[in-house]
Structure 1
Amino acid sequence: MLQRRHWLAAVLAAGYAPELLAQGFASSAPELLPLLGLDGEGLDAADTVIEGRLPAGLRGRYFRNGPGLMQRAGQRYRHWFDGDGLVQSWTLADGRASHRARFVQTEKFRAEQQAGRFLLPAFGTAIRAERPVRGPDSVNVANTSVLPMGGRLYALWEGGSAHELDPVTLETRGLKVWSEDLRGMPFSAHPKVEPDGTVWNFGSANGRLVVYQLNAAGAVVRHALLDVRAPAMLHDFAVSQRFLVFLLAPITMDMAAVRNGTAMLDAMHWTGEQPTRVLVVDKADFSRTRVLEMPACNVFHFGNAWDDGRKLRVDYVQSVALPELNLALNQVMRGERSNRDGSTPRVLEIDLQAGRLSVAARDESVEFPVVDPRFVARRHRHVWYPMATDIGDRWGFNGLMRLDIETGARERFSFGAGTVVEEHVLVPKPGSSREGEGWLVGMGYDIARRRSFLSVFDALRLANGPLARAWLPYAVPYGFHGKFHPA
């Protein structure tokens, strides 16, 4: 049923092996240490060195997920998306911070850890399957994001099921089945959680979308399967007061190329002469949909959306076209700097009555947009991003930016050329209600010190610099996405 199942069948028929890339990777270079990955063991720091002062009201756990294991037995993944999921937990309380990281014990991870080599195909790397592949969860790497919900914690990957973890120990409890009729259906890595705890999500299923509504306890309220000609890759979406919004990029899959030995990601084709379709789904009735068109664009991440019944506004980050993006990520996995053009902020306005679209574009190099969680699916004005600032010869993002999407004003902070900055999330100040009144919390890596750190900013005063940094005694592989769960 799933498009990925067709890929898996083709992979089994092709019978090919991964490139030997680990031999050429300069693992001793300090700027490459987080890209080397771990060997499958966890990390623990019961205490950390605090620079500055952690806010007294900042209490809880900050969870992150990302690719943590990149190579086995001299073979290295070609693409960053392929690494096995490493979930981190920062515990913050009483001015102190501790850190824990554990690999998600997926079926794939356990088998390959025992064998000491790659056994199964990966999304961006061609590998001959040495174990039965019964469906997407046979190759699920659980490496993209996390969802704390109803006292539970889930590790997410867009191609398959969520994995439940113990929120304290990070021990893997197993695959999550939301309901029997949804068993094995994909549960995307970017669920949207409204202030009342309602969760919206989707999964891509062979040109169709399964859409979910869950309550705050994690029970399925509604779901539906929509035949919308979904693209070969669909990573994120946005939610407003009344609608779910998807940007369906013109990405197709060459299954013949996969059968001939091409990795799934390399077999995707960007047909830029075709439009990106804007799919608007009514939250109250999933069968009520509308499709508009805009010039071709590739989008991985959304900030937020809001509507007043007449106009719908969506902010997102527009990436480069898929071939250029994959080339850049392959360069990163080889330990090479990429000079590809960066992704940039956009605000899409849809006149629902007239069916007209307009897009406001900016030129800052950003990614991983976040908003105040109290304003998800509500009218908002602030979006926060990691940002690349032009300071010397840098690797990746080295600063943070807050953008006021109403006025266009921005505020920035740069760590300088020697730091790589990851996604930061907004943590509201207890008892506050003003948008952005809280802390921006996230991770970074200091190349000279060869250490990763947690940084905490006043979210409305980025230019003042971090209030505190908690330094780890080691480097952690770069992650994708995280969530903060208050104590």
Structure 2
Amino acid sequence: MSTTRRSLLAALLAGGISPELLALGLPGFAVDAPELAPLRGLGGEALDAPAAAIEGRLPAGLSGRYFRNGPGLMQRAGQRYRHWFDGDGLLQAWTLADGRVNHRARFVQTEKFRAEQEAGRFLLPAFGTAIPAERPVRGSDSVNAANTSVLLQGNSLYALWEGGSAYELDPATLATRGVKAWSDELRGMPFSAHPKVEADGTVWNFGTANGRLAVYQIGADGQVRRHAVLDVKAPAMLHDFAVSQRHLVFLLAPITMDWAAVRGGQSMLEAMRWGADQPTRVLVIDKADFSKRRVHEMPASHVFHFGNAWDDGRLLRVDYVQGVPLPEFNAAAEQMMRGERPVRADSTPRVLEIDLLTGRLSVTARSEAVEFPVVDPRVVAQRHRFVWYPTAVDTGARWGFNGLMRLDIDSGARERFSFGNDVVVEEHVLVPKPGSTREGEGWLVGMGYDVKRRRSFLSVFDAMRLAGGPLARAWLPYAVPYGFHGRFYPA
């Protein structure tokens, strides 16, 4: 074994990747775009930082746990996943208390992950990588990556992946408990990675399979209140939705599955076809009666993420981020997984208004480069004014976001902060200040990666004063692979 390989193995077993080793080339991964280095991934090991180094001062009232999820393992035995969406789920827990911060990360011990760890190689197909199955595939949970988002209910933490069941973990230790079945009737039904949680704890979610749409209403106690499976000709990919006071809103993009291509050896993602000349269907479902549905049409639009929605009985307003068409997005994701900087293609803010009486639709578009929109958790499914996003400010050809933006969707005013081009900013979530009642009165908490230091950090901003910069940053002694989504739960 070479000195380089021994050093790499030692770093992995120690629970992190050192800055020096992040500069090494690994199979199938280039080194010409340093901001992409975290996408190399880990080898299946745990990460622990009992005391993150604090820069600045944490707000006295900020106390709780911030859970995040994302793809953490990208390659085995010299074979590398082709798409960012494929990596095995790495669940992170940041604990903030008494001005101190600690961090831990554990891989979700899915059936797939355990089998491939034992074998030391990929055994099962992934969403975007065609791998011949060496184990039986009995359903979507056989290939469940559990890598997209999180949900905490009581003493159960769920790792979410839109194509299959939620995986339950212990929130204190991040030990995996197993697949979650919300009821015997719903066992194995996909449970998406974007549940909407209203202020009273009511959870709304969905899942899709073979053109059908499963809709869930779950109480704050974790019990299913209502559910339905609707034949709505759901697209081959449906990632997110929005909830207002009276409605569930889905944008059904013109994405179909070429099953002949799948049988011919293509991955699911490669076999998806984008109908640029077909409309995106706007499906509006009555929350009180799932059988009451209406469908509107708008030009073909690819949407991954929504901010929020509200309605007054006649006007339904939905804010979302307009993404690039699926073929261009997938091509960029494959380049990123090779360590190559993709051609710049921005996703941008949109506000959709639907007149529920006339069916008239109107869309207001903006030009800022953004993604991962969030709102104050107290206004989910209610009238809201502000949306926060990671944003790209004068990044040129460099990949990723380097700042944060707050948008007033009533007035169109914005506030931004940029770290500069040596930092990649991930999703930030809003944490209300204890005792506050005004929308936006709180902190914005999320992760970033410093390209020069080759370290990941947690940043804390005053959500209504972004331009002033971070109040504090908590630095890890290692880099963490880029994740997708998280939630903060106050102590």
On whether the aligned pair clears a TM of 0.5, the verdict is yes
Which residue is equivalent to 1:359?
363
The structure 1 residue matched to 2:104, chosen from 100, 122, 141, is 100
Q: CA deviation at 1:338?
A: 1.3
Deviations for 1:272-327, whole angstroms, at most 9, x for unmatched residues? 11100000000000111000111110000000000000000000000000000000
CA distance in 1, matches of 2:223, 2:104: 29
**C-alpha separation in 2, matches of 1:404 and 1:376:** 16
Partner of 1:44: 48
Aligned twin of 2:15: none
Query: Where do 1:116-131 residues align within 5 Å?
Result: 116-131=120-135
Q: 2:291 aligns with which of 277, 287, 293?
A: 287
Give the match for residue 214 of structure 1: 218
1:264 aligns with 2:265: no
Q: d(CA) in 1 for partners of 2:131 and 2:97?
A: 44
In structure 2, C-alpha distance between the alignment counterparts of 1:137 and 1:27, rounded to whole Å: 34
1:341 aligned counterpart, secondary structure: coil
Partner SS state of residue 325, structure 1? helix
Change (3 A) 1:28 1:116: farther
* 1:383 is the counterpart of 2:387: yes
2:255 aligned residue:
251
Question: Contact 1:198–1:214 (CA<8 Å) still a contact in 2?
Answer: yes
For 1:163, the equivalent position in structure 2 comes to 167
Distance 2:231 2:160 in 1: 24
Shift of 1:32: 3.3
- 1:80 maps to which residue? 84
In 2, the alpha carbon distance for the partners of 1:208 and 1:258 equals 20
- Once the two structures are TM-superposed, the CA of residue 340 in structure 1 deviates from its matched residue by 3.2
Return the TM-score normalized by structure 2. Answer: 0.94
What are the within-5 Å matches in structure 2 for residues 24-39 of structure 1?
24-26=28-30, 30-39=34-43
Asked if structure 2 preserves the Cα contact closer than 8 Å seen for 1:364 and 1:387, the reply is: yes
SS across alignment from 2:378: helix
In structure 2, the gaps of 5 or more residues are 1-24
Cα deviation code 1:222-279 (max 9, x no counterpart): 0001110000000000000000000000000100011111111011000011100000
Using the TM superposition, give the Cα deviation of residue 407 of structure 1 relative to its aligned residue in structure 2, in angstroms: 0.3
* C-alpha contact (below 8 Å) 2:392/2:403 kept by paired residues: yes
Q: Which amino acid aligns with 1:212?
A: Y
Q: Is the CA contact (8 Å cut-off) linking 2:344 and 2:397 kept in structure 1?
A: no
What does the per-residue CA deviation read over 1:47-94, in whole Å, with 9 as the maximum and x for residues that have no partner?
A: 011000001100000000000000000000000000000000000011
**Segment drifting more, 388-397 vs 127-136:** 388-397
- The root-mean-square deviation of aligned C-alpha atoms, in Å, is 1.1
Structure 1 residue 22: deviation in Å?
Answer: 5.4
Q: How many aligned positions are there?
A: 467
2:118 matched to which residue of 1?
114
Matched with 1:18 is none
Tell whether the 8 Å contact from 2:47 to 2:104 is kept in structure 1 after alignment.
Answer: yes
Asked whether the 8 Å contact 2:37–2:339 carries over to 1, the reply is no
Scaled by the length of structure 1, the TM-score of the pair is 0.95
Runs of 4 or more, structure 1, over 6 Å off, are: none
Cα 1:29/1:238, change in 2 over 3 Å = closer
28-37 or 422-431: bigger deviation: 28-37
Residue equivalent to 2:58? 54
Alignment of 1:408-427 (within 5 A): 408-427=412-431
CA distance in 1, matches of 2:28, 2:299: 40
How far residue 339 of structure 1 moved from its aligned partner, in angstroms, is 1.9
Aligned with 1:133 (options 137, 146, 161): 137
The amino acid that maps onto 2:370 is V
Are positions 1:197 and 2:201 aligned together? yes
CA distance in 2, matches of 1:192, 1:94: 30
Whether the aligned pair in 2 keeps the contact of 1:30 and 1:450 (CA below 8 Å) is: no
Cα drift, residue 393 of structure 1: 5.1
Map Cα deviations across residues 424-481 of structure 1 (whole Å, 9 max, x no partner): 0000000001000000000000000000000000000000000000000000000000
**SS of equivalent to 1:180:** coil
User: 1:27 touches 1:36 (CA, 8 Å); kept in 2?
Assistant: no
- 1:55 & 1:295 partners in 2: Cα distance? 45
How far the C-alpha of 1:395 sits from its partner, in A, is 2.7
Instruction: Report the 3-state secondary structure (helix = DSSP H, G, I; strand = E; otherwise coil) of the residue aligned with 1:181.
Output: coil
Offset at 1:335? 0.5
CA contact (8 A) 1:394 1:418 kept: no
Determine if contact 1:22/1:71 at 8 Å carries over to the other structure. no
Contact 1:425 1:442 in 2 (8 A): yes
Choose which of 455, 461, 464 in structure 2 pairs with 1:460: 464
SS for the counterpart of 1:23 is coil
CA distance in 2, matches of 1:93, 1:389: 32
Letter in 2 for 1:335: G
Please say if residues 26 and 32 of structure 1, whose CA atoms lie closer than 8 Å, have aligned partners that are also in contact.
Answer: no
Task: Please give the alpha-carbon distance, in whole angstroms, between the structure 2 residues aligned to 1:467 and 1:392.
Answer: 27
User: Partners in 2 of 1:168 and 1:411 — Cα distance?
Assistant: 36
Kept in 2: contact 1:154–1:165 (CA 8 A): yes
Residue 29 of structure 1: CA displacement? 6.9
Task: Please say if 1:174 is aligned against 2:178.
Answer: yes
Residue type at the aligned position of 1:429: K
> Which residue number in structure 1 is paired with residue 16 of structure 2?
none
Q: Is the 8 A contact 2:444 2:460 kept in 1?
A: yes
- In 2, are the aligned partners of 1:62 and 1:90 still within 8 Å (CA)? yes
For the residue of structure 2 that corresponds to 1:328, the secondary structure is helix
Q: Secondary structure at the match of 2:185?
A: helix
The correspondence for 1:435, drawn from 434, 439, 444, is 439
